[in-house]
Amino acid sequence: MTTPTHIVQLNGFARSPLVDVARPYEDQIRFSVRRMDGAKLWAYSLWRAPDGADLLAEIPFSEEYIQCAGDAEGVTVEVRVVDEAGTAHQYTVGKPTGGSESEPTETIRWDEGRHSTKVHPHEVFTLDEAADLFVACYRDNHVPADHTLREI
């Protein structure tokens, strides 16, 4: 096992270090995102731990992260970034083939349907596509540049 550098959060509350005990980090991310069923696991978040953080002593939160919610029918992916002025911005991520629809038309549900949001069709991701985005953020600390970001 190597020293964890990232933190995961499940369903908006259960936080822990991302560990590589059962499988390598990127495989663990893919495994977890692909398990989203909208009931037992309906939200997944990932962020980089501060340099030098002792994740055995404390699980720090971050102002910057990637998160998704939904199930095998579709998930919405969001990122939160802090700009150079220190202002946080939350974005819904879209596929590179994004459309120009004026209003979101697709509904993503999670937590056994208790929560939902509307997104554009190009902002609906499969679990595999969402897992790819999480791995990209794990590697590079940002969403690939060819994806769209819609501020919310």
Q: Is residue 71 one of the residues assigned to a domain?
A: yes
Q: What is the greatest pairwise CA distance in the chain?
A: 47
Q: Is residue 54 one of the residues assigned to a domain?
A: yes
Tell me how many domains the chain contains.
1
Cβ-in-10-Å burial (0-12, 13-18, 19+) of 43 comes to buried
Identify the pLDDT of residue 54. Answer: 81
Q: Is residue 15 one of the residues assigned to a domain?
A: yes
Domain span at residue 76 reads 6-151
Identify the pLDDT of residue 56. Answer: 75
CB 104 within 8 A of CB 143: no
Residues 6+ apart with CB under 8 A from 28: 18, 19, 20, 22
Residues 6+ apart with CB under 8 A from 78: 66, 67, 68, 90, 91, 92, 93, 152
Supply 135's token pair. Answer: 């791995």
Q: Which residues face 71 on adjacent strands? A: 74
Identify the pLDDT of residue 110. Answer: 94
Give CA angle at 89 (47, 78), nearest 5°.
55
Identify the pLDDT of residue 87. Answer: 96
Helical ranges in the chain per DSSP H: 25-34, 127-140
Q: Is residue 100 one of the residues assigned to a domain?
A: yes
Identify the pLDDT of residue 100. Answer: 66
Identify the pLDDT of residue 98. Answer: 67
**pLDDT in tens for each of the 152 residues of the chain?**
577 889 999 999 899 999 888 899 999 999 999 999 999 999 999 999 988 888 778 888 899 999 999 999 999 999 999 999 999 999 999 998 766 668 899 999 999 999 999 999 999 999 999 999 999 999 999 999 999 999 99
Supply 37's token pair. Answer: 């069923």
Identify the pLDDT of residue 55. Answer: 79
Q: Is residue 1 one of the residues assigned to a domain?
A: no
Answer whether 0.95 is exceeded by the pTM.
Answer: no
